[in-house]
Amino acid sequence: MSGKTLQEFIANNFGKLLGVLSGLLLGWMIIEYGVLQTFFVIILVVLGYIFGKQLDEGDSLSAFLDRIFKR
């Protein structure tokens, strides 16, 4: 690596490494569990991320649910 440390390599190529690891995980999940089950897991992960982001930003659970279901 011509004198670069591993930390510098990771910092300079973080997006590429994250993409490779995500693709590897997704491919393994599809092979192991099938497309529909993998898709279901991805949907749950995205919903969990959105829910957690809202709570981190200080929204209450009731405000979050009101905005989703528009009572």
Single-letter residue type at 20: V
Query: Could you tell me if 44 and 60 lie in one domain?
Result: yes
pTM of this structure: 0.66
Q: What is the pLDDT of residue 1?
A: 53
* Selection from 37, 63, 33, 38 nearest residue 51 by Cα: 63
Say how many domains are in the chain.
2
Query: Could you tell me if 71 and 38 lie in one domain?
Result: yes
Query: Could you tell me if 23 and 48 lie in one domain?
Result: no
Phi first, then psi: what are they for 59, rounded to 5°?
A: -70, 145
Q: What is the pLDDT of residue 70?
A: 80
What's the CA gap between 17 and 29, in Å, rounded? 18
Query: Could you tell me if 42 and 22 lie in one domain?
Result: no
What's the CA gap between 15 and 39, in Å, rounded? 23
Q: What is the pLDDT of residue 54?
A: 82
**Which domain covers residue 52, as residue numbers?**
34-71
Digit-by-digit pLDDT tens for the chain (71 residues) are 566 799 999 899 999 999 999 999 999 999 999 999 999 999 999 988 888 888 888 877 777 778 778 85
Q: What is the pLDDT of residue 61?
A: 74
